[in-house]
Homo-oligomer: A and B are copies of this chain.
């Protein structure tokens, strides 16, 4: 027992060290690596992935996990929790043959290239061949895991343990209906009719200045984090005290960098808040789900960052930073600009209201692909029909449509729903914090976020994956995933803005 315990803790520690190395390789590739470093980098990354995978599925590791599982009653509470978590994770990993993992990695590498090429040539067919292969691989994967119920449950489980198509369908149906109802009312409003596209510019230096102010206010510690630049913003934690975020300053919308920085800082605060103490360097010191992770970024980005109170503090800051742009913009019109609803084609540029419709569209399509009710060759057409049905806009071409996201090229089927799950959770969290803290609005107005961060640490972050995501939310907010809370929030907010 002692030997087995020593082994599993040492193994987890090593996996955590190896994971950190892999994260640095990835971060550097996206931020600073000279372009031609890519070939060597891919070999470095492959070596680290292989090492990590071999350690996870090693027979010795499994042997010790089994010994401990058979004697689970003799373990301390902490050891019990760690062993149960490990058994679940390792058992799942061991179901998948290494040969499959390699094959999957090869095909997704090629698929990423064909996806890029398809975008350049604006020709979905170039990507379709590889996407077919990926769908087949995903089915093969589900075969190894051998879950009861629909295949999509098995894919969902990789990102959102315990979540099922059945549960999600109920929430997403309600959400879709709710958003479309609000959207229809907005579209018939006078304000919508008159509203114009946001057109103003902020140079990189000013954008950078504003991003640095907001992460300072959010208490992202600069001795444990940093902000860099990459094409697509992301967060990566390469150590307990080293979690980095990125943004991009050259997007058409100059607010992109500001909101994406808030979003990524939300992820980073979560990573930095993971349980240390007795669970340091164990599987417990990790997020239980992508949806819960996203709830943290969405919370800061939308619930805080797009709120009227937040802009009471930041509108003057923006005005001072770019006086020329703001001289004709009142606080109210600025708040409306920040929250302008405008059904559009690209998910990552969508407004707060319509964003989840983009996600639900992908969810419906992915289920169809896995159930064999949708075939790859009709994807483009189905995509466009659904866009028209839900958002009332139709892509002129596949680059604006089915080719816009890279996720499928990497085999990430089942991931998209976590964006909407996180968004729903974020509204539930916000409602609960509002109930718990009567000074919340005045704190936000003064950009004083200590109590908010404190609440998140105690109720979300410090659980790591001691429970699954929905149970953490249940304990924190009184109920699990509930899209009604989010729809109510949207109604309150957007009916006011559009005077409905």
Query: Which positions in A face B, CB cutoff 8 Å?
Result: 14, 17-18, 20-21, 24-25, 28, 32-37, 39-41, 43-44, 47-48, 221-226, 228, 238-242, 244
A238 to B37, CA, bound (A): 8
Partner of A223, one of B17, B36, B43: B36
Q: Smallest CB–CB gap between A283 and chain B, Å? A: 17
Q: Smallest CB–CB gap between A50 and chain B, Å? A: 11
Contact, CB under 8 Å: A44 / B17 = yes
Contact, CB under 8 Å: A36 / B241 = yes
Contact, CB under 8 Å: A223 / B35 = yes
A21 to B48, CA, bound (A): 9
* 3 tightest Cβ-Cβ pairs between the two chains A and B: A40-B239, A37-B242, A36-B241
Contact, CB under 8 Å: A32 / B241 = no
Residues of chain B lying within 8 A (CB to CB) of residue A39 = 239-241
Contact, CB under 8 Å: B40 / A224 = no
A196 to B36, CA, bound (A): 46
- Closest residue on chain B to residue A39 by CB atoms: B241
Contact, CB under 8 Å: A17 / B47 = yes
Q: Smallest CB–CB gap between A29 and chain B, Å? A: 10
Q: Smallest CB–CB gap between A441 and chain B, Å? A: 33
Known: A21-B44, A34-B226, A34-B241. 17 other contacts (CB 8 A): A17-B40, A21-B47, A24-B24, A24-B25, A24-B44, A32-B228, A33-B242, A34-B222, A34-B225, A34-B244, A36-B224, A36-B241, A36-B242, A37-B238, A40-B238, A40-B240, A44-B239
Q: Smallest CB–CB gap between A44 and chain B, Å? A: 5
Contact, CB under 8 Å: A224 / B37 = yes
Residues of chain B lying within 8 A (CB to CB) of residue A33 = 242
Q: Smallest CB–CB gap between A275 and chain B, Å? A: 16
A335 to B240, CA, bound (A): 51
Contact, CB under 8 Å: A40 / B241 = yes
A41 to B238, CA, bound (A): 9
- Closest residue on chain B to residue A51 by CB atoms: B51
Partner of A21, one of B21, B32, B240: B21
Q: Report 7 cross-chain contacts, Cβ distance below 8 Å, ordered by A residue.
A: A17-B44, A21-B47, A32-B226, A36-B221, A37-B239, A40-B238, A44-B239
Residues of chain B lying within 8 A (CB to CB) of residue A241 = 34, 36-37, 39-40
Contact, CB under 8 Å: A44 / B32 = no
Residues of chain B lying within 8 A (CB to CB) of residue A224 = 34, 36-37
Contact, CB under 8 Å: A43 / B24 = no
Residues of chain B lying within 8 A (CB to CB) of residue A48 = 21
